[in-house]
Structure 1
């Protein structure tokens, strides 16, 4: 800074770095993760199981970068690019990667591997995106539609494609009822949560940590 106080403030460099990260780097990484998860043009990615790691990576990316969007004042174009990349990548994963896996999996739903990823993505949407005050209304609306699509993964597979692809305007209130079933899928006993230590609070709230533990998922109260 100059002696007269002109020039960028002490935090300007950090903000510029965050805007570059969230507005350009993160959208690109989200796109790469979604492409790997959907295994486009490379069936070996699906047979090797690498697509699962890509879905988990996407969950980590969103979870680790969202606090910066919530706590920092950034340029609108950077924030918009971030949110569009996040919701677009998640929609791609739900409509393609998770749906394709459910259709190809012959195991019962309770025993199939993709269910853990379905629950992880569902928890990310409910505990992070919909709970975030920084999420624009448009993003929240699309997140609700993705939750509706995830509910379809527990039943008829075609429901998923229809729900994830439907980003047009509609009566959101009438479409919220099926989401309560997703909350029932995200199960974590309240007794176990009550015995968790204070030091485990962050881990208990981490959707990625819940996926890695392989246990039940978070139980959310009925809201509708």
Structure 2
């Protein structure tokens, strides 16, 4: 038996990158997993993959209901779906600001709202949001993205306060730069992708990018019943970027 045996988890954005790593780790730990994504993988034993759009409340409601029906309830929600944005405060127009905030912030609220009726019935209910080091550190050319992840951080604390009496823990993980297909696409747009990847790795004290599996391990800790006294906090998985100031 593991702490996740008998539990059901949903992962938004679970089709690739950090979300896929979270889904895989949860399934390996004994949970049954609903993978919600615009491009979901095939369903397998213990995995219910459903197409869902976090920008569409009706889509999320239907997807969450399908997973709950397949597995008999929901205990854990991992809000991982999100999009990137590059540039200073002048770089993106109003429509792009609205789109990114709608997906990265309101999408967390929509998914949580859809899952809450089921989470309220669980004895081990937990929500883990994926934030970012950008929520609390000023990074160049990340104005819109940082604003969205700062909002996720604040939303996590507010939800934790609202839901503590219901026995639902809410936390977030704040990764540094993670070696995912998402980052690879950003690097591909750089004038010198190899040099840009080396720069991103060097700004983390460990000297390398974070792996998706390392983020997933943090998510599993926060989502599991053994973390029952942990709520309303952010766990950095950033190679020391948020706390260390090393001489160079």
With the shorter chain as reference, the TM-score category is 0.3 to 0.5
Structure having the higher strand fraction is 2
Q: TM-score, length-normalised on structure 1? A: 0.42
Structure having the higher helix fraction is 1
